[in-house]
Amino acid sequence: MQETETTEEARRALEICNACRYCEGFCAVFPAMELRREFATGDLSYLANLCHNCKGCYYACQYAPPHEFGLNLPQTFAQLRAETYAEYAWPKPLGAVFQRNGTVVALISALGIALTLILTVLIQDPTVLYAAHEGPGAFYRVIPWWLMTTLAGGTFLYALLALAMGFRNFWRDTGSSLAGPAGPRPVATALHDILTLRNLGGGGHGCNDRDEAFSTQRRWFHHAMFYGFLLCFASTSVATVYDHVIGHPAPYPFWSLPVQLGTWGGVGLVVGTAGLIWLKVVSDQAPAARNLLGADYALLGLLCLTSLTGLLLLGLRGTGAMGVLLAIHLGIVLSLFLLLPYSKMVHGLYRSGALLRNAMERHAGHAPASD
């Protein structure tokens, strides 16, 4: 990673923190920090992505503003994470998308919806969009199978490739002295930390979600969003098997596995994203990187819109509104796939990598586990 003003500020802050060590029991960042006397840019990238932005260190810090040291580690790490997203992006020129991410997300979403509607009208009789369609294969009467598969499959495979290349860049840049691949114990520890959001637990009492008071709200909203997204992905995967392996095309009955997974996943996404948006609105802005809030709101809004249009499509699929809703929902999903490697969504991938590297250090006996 390149040296920037943000890396210099992060290094200055961590050198002070390494001398103080008051916050060493707060999260995984500080025990990992204490292993290092000097901080290369790769170390800074690793520690910034290991940070879960719980803000506890800001409210506990004796050197936070208005002290002359002016330490604001949550804000500095947020800025540094945003720089790592652009640094590790693949292809490299597309890293510039992160500079105006909120605008780009809104623009791509609008273009995705417009493109899907236009292609549908060009290929089909426009009246198809407003007619009621029922029974197996009803969706394909609106948007042909080949078009839906090409658009959705192509964008999703591209997103997977771009995410994999970005993770490779992150892993190489943050490489440590630990030799060899991760063993089963570090992998299991990292998976536990990822799936439980352990570092948003604050040792049981919660984090500083809104102000200096402790709370677990952000952790539970994040859980709702994370597992809602996984359930929606599982719904799509099961539906793919039903369609292409069993030969049973959508739409499916309400009590079928794909619909149940998608319904509960959609509800979880709506609750989680709406809750996280609310927390961002009401929380103390002092430790936040305010210039990055647009990207946060844009991604949360896109995820919420994806789930809302999916739930509307489920509720109105037997009516004349189904065609337009299907085109809009597919356009939003395509936009989400295209933006996965170039939005804050990548934080989950890099944070997971940082948690794996942290687990490797802990199991190698280099660092104690945090509460």
Lowest mean pLDDT among 3-7, 22-26, 46-50, 188-192: 22-26
pLDDT tens for 194-242 read 999 988 887 667 888 888 899 999 999 999 999 999 999 999 999 889 9
Share of the chain above pLDDT 70, in %: 96
Instruction: Output the DSSP codes for 332-350.
Output: HHHHHHHHGGGSTTHHHHH
pLDDT value for 203:
65
With residue 226 as reference, give the H or E element that holds it: helix 217-241
Domain ranges for the chain: 5-88, 92-362
- Tokens representing 290? 């305010």
pLDDT tens for 89-123 read 999 998 888 888 888 888 888 888 888 888 887 88
3-state class (DSSP) for residue 215: strand
Q: Identify the band that residue 371 occupies on the pLDDT scale cut at 50, 70 and 90.
A: very low
Q: What global pTM score does this model have?
A: 0.89
pLDDT tens for 321-344 read 888 899 899 999 999 999 999 999
Calculate the average pLDDT of the chain. Answer: 88
pLDDT tens for 120-154 read 878 877 777 788 888 888 888 888 888 888 888 88
Q: Identify the band that residue 370 occupies on the pLDDT scale cut at 50, 70 and 90.
A: very low
Q: Given a cut of 60, is residue 366 above it in pLDDT?
A: no
**Which of the two residues, 310 and 139, has the higher pLDDT score?**
310
pLDDT value for 102:
83
Q: Identify the band that residue 26 occupies on the pLDDT scale cut at 50, 70 and 90.
A: confident
Evaluate whether 7 touches 338 at the Cβ level (below 8 Å): no
All residues at 6 or more sequence positions from 217 whose CB lies less than 8 Å from its CB, including other chains: 206, 209, 210, 275, 279
